[in-house]
Structure 1
Amino acid sequence: MHVYSLDFKNFRRLKDVRIDLSNDLTLFVGANNSGKTSATHALDLFLSGSKDKFTVHDFSASCWGDFEKYPAEIAGDTKIEFPSISLDVWISVDADNLYRVVELLPSAAWEGSLVGLRIEFGAKDAAQTLANFRAKAAIAAKFTKTKEEDGQDYRPWPRNMRDYLSREMKNEYGLRYFILDEAQLKTDGTSETVTLKEIIGDTERSGHTIINSLIKVDFLSAQRHLSDGNAQARTEDLSKRLSRFYTRNQKQREEDHSALRALALSEEELTKHFADVFSDTFKSLRKLGYPGLANPALEIRAALNLGRLMGDQQAKVHYLLEEATAEVEALALPDSYNGLGFKNLIYMGVELLDLHSAWSTTEEGEEDKRQPIHLVFIEEPEAHMHAQLQQAFVRKLTDLISPTGDDGFTTQFVISTHSPHILYERGFQPIRYFRRSPESGSKQSSAVFNLSIFYDNNEPDRDFLQRYMKLTHCDLFFADAAILVEGNVERLLLPLMIARGSKRLSSSYLSILEVGGAFAFRFRKLIEFLGLPTLIVTDLDSVYPALPKKDNTDTAEDSATVEATEVSDYEDDQSEDEDEDEDEDNGGQDSDGVKKPKPRSKCPASTPGAISANQTLCQWLPGKSLVEELLAASTEEKLQQPTDDGGAHVMVTYQCPINATWGTETLELKSRTLEEAFAYENLAWCQKKDNRDVGLRWSKSSTMSLEILASKIHKRVKGESFKKTNFALGLLASSDTNWLVPTYILEGLNWLATHVTVGDTEPVDAMPEHSPDAALTAVEEKND
């Protein structure tokens, strides 16, 4: 028996959200302000049964207009409906536990495994609420002043219905409870179209009593006070007054060994008592498996002080560094001498054991009052803990407290976290991903996605993606948007290019994942499932096509001739360029002795008939393999839009033709990699002697034509001796910042900036026009 799901309506960002819970451990993940805390707070509000804790601000922003559409004067036949907030709790129950939920069975003929209860916070009497508002508004109107008539604007409370409810919510709204019928909901679609059976509050057991007899909810907040004592306490009572008196006079009795002996004996006996009481707890805490060679055990030692004997007597935690023997007392340090991480781990362990004990322990004769389900919410357990300790906690949590107990009793844990290290331990199945999703206007809401559904439906790619997460501690689930990059060079340089080319993205939380052109398309289904705006920055990766059939020999000969000409142009007699490799593309010779390229070997992007070796471009966007077609692809062909069924905004960007200038020459150049694109758009910068560390300089480049210089850049970049990481590090280390972000990258960043929600603002759907000149102008202005 366990909580199967929670359905929220109109609560803050949770406009219409269903959250499925695992029967042992569920992870709430998502970007900041995506609704994770709202879900736990809503459950606390509804199960506490106190309507006075709700405020008008707990209603989703989209509901505010529904409050304000009722003016002070309306037609008599207008139907009055005010928004309500509701929580549907669905409980999975087996045959052995049906007796526990008999009051929630919708009918005697009920068959199924789920029972449900709706808790609704709504207007007690909508018509009376409106009448009360109109009465107050009429009084307020007498004191209203306008700037035109009175020289100032003044509108006293209540200015509108929402303003009225900000003060009168507790009087106008109340909680109601309804029984849900799973079969009826499946038949009729949604509960909005069916009549629900209400549990009347004056019956033998109210709805609040029923739900609280089934579920015990506890919360372990992220705000854990780990320091000793409470320095702010100012309680003045008799004990403290006597304590100050005793302190002032005890100095006169420092040699009173009778008193000291009594304290020593008391400390010894109290320490033994604490050891007995906490024995089982400390044994359980060892299951947390704190990593390290010297794992300290715990001991509670009494610490009685003459000066505080009449006040707040204390018992302090000590950490044993070695075991005690008959001859030697154990070496121990006070709690304050240990780090916050370990202290936090022990604190949470003790707190969880205490909460579990309070739920599982019942007084004699009150066994029937124990709730069968214990739901424990743990907020951000990663506070103060390093990666290995976070993993140890989530790995050992279910060892510390078993989710399933005897006689149908169940403990379910829900962890709200921002830690990719915790995801590392648990994989996809327990993840519930909260994603911010903008509505019309400035209204905001969130959607929640069950990653176990993705796991079950994507068997080919799920194992690869989970292994990738374990290798990289993937932070995809906490980002505002994702950028998939080709390799290590892009991963190193992209943050710098973002800072230079797209200031708005600098304030967003971006997940930059190095996935390569051959594997980016394997992230497609996950990105579409999450609905995460994603930019793919990849390379054109032009290569020679496979050898044509015999009846197409003319084309093959033409391609071979072009390549042979380029190879001859690559000859270089400069000592600075001796590190260049032999042309790796030569696949042999034809009958005329002309060199012919090896199929699928690297070639310039301008090579006729070239194809792309990049599987993302071939299998995803824009879904083409011929380089000529890729270079001619329109902006729309590089974009993927979400559909009514889901999906995500996705754009792929790769090298595009640019007009390069060298001296008095200007040519249209086509590049196949980031390094080439950077060099062509920053020719003068790369040829400066001070920038030789990027590896794209020739000592006599000033004597070369633009065509020859471009061919040399292509050959060097594709050569085995070119160190791409050195290129990236050289650019990062350069003090000369007058370089331009490659056009294709800048175009992609501009697009992504229109789809990233910054500060809860509405994203813009406009796509910047593909204009290299405009993009270069923008970068130049930025550099200036």
Structure 2
Amino acid sequence: MILKKMKVKNFRLLKNFELDFKDELSLIIGKNNCGKTSALIILDKMLNSSKVMWEDINLECQKDLYKKIIGFDITKLDEVQLLETISMQLFIEYNDNDSYENIQKFMMDLNPDNNIIVLEFISVIAAKKIIELKNIISEKNIEDFKSFSKFMSKNFANFFEMKKYSRGFDIESNQITQDRSEEIDNKDIQKVIKVAGIRADRAVSNDDHNHVLSGLTGKYFSSYKATKDESESVFTRLEEKLEEADKELYKIYNGEKSDSGKVIDGIFSNVIDVIKTYGGAENGIDIAIESSISEKNLLSDNTNLSYRQGGDCSLPETYNGLGYLNLIGILFEIETKIQELFEQPADINLLYIEEPEAHTHPQLQYIFIRNIKSHIKTHRKKLLEDKNKQLQILITSHSSHIVSECNFDDIIYLKKNGNTVIAKNFNSLKEEYSGDEQKGFKFVKQYLTMNRSELFFTDKAICIEGDTERILMPMMMHKIDNKEKPKADLIPLLSQNISIIEVGAHSHIFIPLFEFLGIKVLIITDIDAATKNNNGRYVKSHPQEAKYTSNASIKDFFKDTCLDESNNEFEELLKKIPEDKIKNNIRIAYQIPETDGEYQASSFEDAFIALNKDFILKNKEELCEYGALKDFSNYEIENGDYYNFALNNVKKKSAFASSLLYFDDENGEEDEKWAVPHYIEEGLLWIR
């Protein structure tokens, strides 16, 4: 039995939300404030009968409710029984190996092919409560939504209630039907599905007065004991030791007589004698202070977790870093929660872990995600074999390190889309790479794993070709920000969440991924001037002689404009205006002449040299000594043939790029600092 899907309406950002669960582990990822926590909280609130609050209702739904309540027609009381707000539907799939004992009362038909039950949770306000609320609005002169919202924030529970039903499901149309059961009891739901979790706001601290981990030992003991037979030797030994301790403490508290008959006073002897004096012996007042050490209190209040050092000494828990404290705390809580679920398991047991990466460095994050799946699998197998019950895990994260180390089949990507949130399974991206492009999907998947899982969490991306652009891009962004200060409503490039990724001339392979992620992308690539030989193959050429581009990304970007059919596609590319280079949320940038020059470049190097020849000449000696350029005569650069100058004199592209950072003087004269080529500047202004 498996939880397959959840549908949510009007809960916070989840206005109309669907989430398909994986059978074993669902890794829910996405940027901050995209609804990851909300998806966990609604499961927790509905299944554990926690209170839903007015603030939990989606803002648009709140405003719509206000309009419906103030406009409610009392004469149509029979037509409108209630108004719905938040709702959640859980789709549970079962098979012939599962016990029907707990789910049979939720089955809505006898169709043997229908193996889906649907549990529905709805927060509603009944018609009579609407009338009552409408009267209060009138009496209190509540005249706008703001005042209404303030009143509802304090009085929500007086008017709204939670209803729970089983719903009919049509297996052929894969849709919920109008059939609805009588209200169902939460006790019956708890037999079918339970949820427990570890929240992100874990009280982990390395403050000297904080001993959170030590406190977890008491919780772990309680859950451990509940799943074991109390006659086991470990409990017998513990009980014997506690009885011995109680007897010794009794003597220390109340005093005792030694073997020689001498009275040895205890801690409380004096006060007990005083009480006897006041009460009088004839009244029979005789008290004693008993020791009553319980196992749980002993562990909760009298145990400390410590770190062993060198085998013969230990340090307090707070003497370790927050990352290790967090990791140890999570593992303690996982074991405790799972043992609690094992004590009285439901048919489906859902365990969630929110943002396990808190405080941890990348290596610890790798270790966690590598081990958690096999660790949970052991518990899952035991629960299934021993009790025929299922364990499903949800992990939410915005760590690129965790994503890069996980199985991409487990990923569910949450994307904020306007005022709502959509959830996408990463494997659905595979459908965008049809036919021969399946190789592209494998390549993108491998690239994300090895290099750039951060793309899942970025707002924008800049695709570059190689080392030169990678080294210089941050400085070029800085120069653009300084040259043209952004307007008040624009954030400088270097302050934005932009990922720079190296893709060579293969950015077109990533376009389905960018569209899947819904991010804004700038592709910076070389126009790669070319001619064709007698065999129809592209041959690198001087841009003045070029009729084609050999760049695959450019060809793919303009494939819908029949670029290949042009007699001179190179010339056609140069005629394109900035608006022609934008497709949906993606823009391409390639070499174009500078605003005050005629030279057309073929690569970054000759575009840069054409624009910055004074800078090159000013720093000629240093650039040659640095290994960026070969020794050259001034005429070679002054004659205007920048293509051949770059081809013959750039010694090593990476050295050329790093030298530009080294010799640039942002505060110097014009010939002591360099400028950003026009095609890159145009693209960066667009993405800013």
**Which bin holds the TM-score, normalised by the shorter protein?**
0.7 to 0.9
Could you tell me which residue of structure 2 aligns to residue 63 of structure 1? 61
2:28–2:411 Cα contact (<8 Å) kept: yes
Kept in 1, the 8 Å contact 2:609–2:616? The answer is yes
Taking the TM superposition and a 5 Å limit, the aligned residue runs for 1:398-409 are: 398-402=373-377, 403-404=380-381, 405-406=384-385, 407-409=387-389
Check if 1:735 corresponds to 2:665.
Answer: yes
Query: Which residue pairs with 1:219 in the alignment?
Result: 197
Q: Using the alignment, how far apart are the partners of 1:736 and 1:472 within structure 2? A: 32
Structure 1 residue 655: Cα displacement = 1.4
TM alignment of 1:283-362, pairs within 5 A: 314-320=302-308, 330=312, 332-362=314-344
Task: Pick closer, same or farther for the CA change 1:132–1:389 going to 2, 3 Å.
Answer: same
Instruction: Give the 3 Å change call, closer, same or farther, for CA 696–447 of structure 1 in structure 2.
Output: farther
How many residue pairs get aligned? The number is 572
Which residue is equivalent to 1:6? 6
Contact 2:25 2:395 in 1 (8 A): yes
Structure 2 counterpart of 1:434, one-letter code: L
- Secondary structure at the aligned position of 2:605 is classed as helix
Equivalent position of 2:105 in the other structure: 103
- How many angstroms does 1:540 deviate by? 0.8
Task: Give CA deviations for 1:162-187 in whole Å, capped at 9, x if unaligned.
Answer: 44433332122111223233326x53
What residue in structure 2 maps to residue 466 of structure 1? 445
* Mean CA deviation greater in 28-37 or 686-695: 686-695
Return closer, same or farther for 1:61/1:71 CA change in 2, 3 Å cut-off: closer
> Secondary structure of the residue that 2:352 maps to in structure 1?
strand
Q: Deviations over 1:112-142 (max 9, x none)?
A: 33221111112222xx44433432333333x
Aligned match of 1:112: 114
TM-score where L is the length of structure 2: 0.75
Q: Classify 1:514/1:57 alpha carbon distance in 2 versus 1 (closer, same or farther; 3 Å).
A: same
The one-letter amino acid of 2:600's match is K
Q: Displacement, 1:476?
A: 0.7
In structure 2, stretches of 5+ residues that fail to align are 212-240, 249-296, 668-672
- For residues 128-277 of structure 1, what are the structure 2 equivalents within 5 Å? 128-141=128-141, 161-183=148-170, 187=173, 191=176, 194-200=177-183, 206-227=184-205, 231=209
Partner amino acid, structure 2, of 1:397: I
Match of 2:468 in 1: 489
Residue 67 (structure 1) shift: 2.9
Q: Cα offset for 1:211?
A: 2.4
Q: Give, in whole Å, the separation in 1 of the partners of 2:549 and 2:522.
A: 19
Distance in 2 separating the partners of 1:457 and 1:311:
56
On the 8 A contact 2:84/2:123 being kept in 1, the answer is no
Structure 2 equivalent of residue 508 of structure 1:
496
SS at match of 1:226: coil
- TM-superposed CA distance for 1:670, in Å, is 1.0
Instruction: Report what 2:408 is aligned to.
Output: 428
Of residues 593, 604, 610, the one that matches 1:657 is 593
Q: Please state whether the residue corresponding to 1:411 is helix, strand or coil.
A: strand
3-state SS of 1:522 partner: helix
Structure 1 residue 376: Cα displacement: 1.3
Q: CA deviation at 1:229?
A: 8.3
Distance 2:2 2:398 in 1: 26
- Percent identical residues: 26
Of 526, 542, 550, the match for 1:539:
526
Q: Is the CA contact 1:27–1:430 (under 8 Å) kept in the aligned structure 2?
A: yes
Residue type matched to 2:453 in 1? C
Q: Mind listing any 5+ residue stretches in structure 1 that lack a counterpart?
A: 142-154, 201-205, 234-261, 270-308, 324-329, 363-369, 439-443, 550-598, 642-648, 661-666, 754-784
Q: Is the 8 A contact 1:30 1:479 kept in 2?
A: no
Cα contact 2:594–2:677 (8 A) shared by 1: no
For 2:520 and 2:185, the matched residues in 1 are separated by: 42
Partner of 1:39: 39
Deviation at 1:541, TM superposition (A): 1.4
- TM-aligned CA distance change 1:619 to 1:311, over 3 Å: closer
Structure 1 residue 17: deviation in Å? 1.5
Instruction: Give 3-state SS (helix, strand or coil) of 2:591's partner.
Output: coil
1:719, distance to aligned residue in structure 2 (A): 4.2
- The alignment's TM-score, normalised by the length of structure 1, stands at 0.66
| Cα distance change of structure 1 residues 616 and 317 upon mapping to structure 2, 3 Å threshold | same
Instruction: For residue 607 of structure 1, give the secondary structure of its aligned residue in structure 2.
Output: coil
Aligned partner of 2:267 in structure 1 is none
Give the match's secondary structure for 1:84. Answer: strand
SS of the aligned residue for 1:316 comes to coil
Contact 2:466/2:503, CA 8 A, preserved across alignment: yes
Which amino acid is 1:653 matched to? A
1:414 paired with 2:394, answer: yes
> What is the aligned counterpart of 2:651 among 698, 707, 722?
722
Residue 391 of structure 1: SS of its match in structure 2?
helix
Deviations 1:399-437 (A, max 9, x none): 323233314222222111121121122232111111111
Deviation at 1:23, TM superposition (A): 1.5
How far apart are the structure 2 equivalents of 1:226 and 1:210?
36
In 2, the alpha carbon distance for the partners of 1:722 and 1:377 equals: 55
Q: Secondary structure at the match of 2:170?
A: helix
Mapping for residues 371-770 of structure 1, pairs under 5 Å: 371-402=346-377, 403-404=380-381, 405-406=384-385, 407-438=387-418, 444-455=419-430, 458=433, 459-501=438-480, 503=486, 504=491, 505-517=493-505, 519-547=506-534, 600-609=538-547, 611-621=548-558, 624=563, 626-641=569-584, 649-660=585-596, 667-689=597-619, 693=623, 695=628, 701=634, 708=639, 710-711=640-641, 713-719=642-648, 721-733=650-662, 734-736=664-666, 738-753=673-688
* 2:544 partner amino acid: S
CA shift at 1:543, angstroms?
Answer: 2.2
The CA distance in 2 between the partners of 1:358 and 1:312, in whole Å, is 17
Give the SS at the match of 1:88. strand
User: RMSD over aligned Cα, in angstroms?
Assistant: 3.5
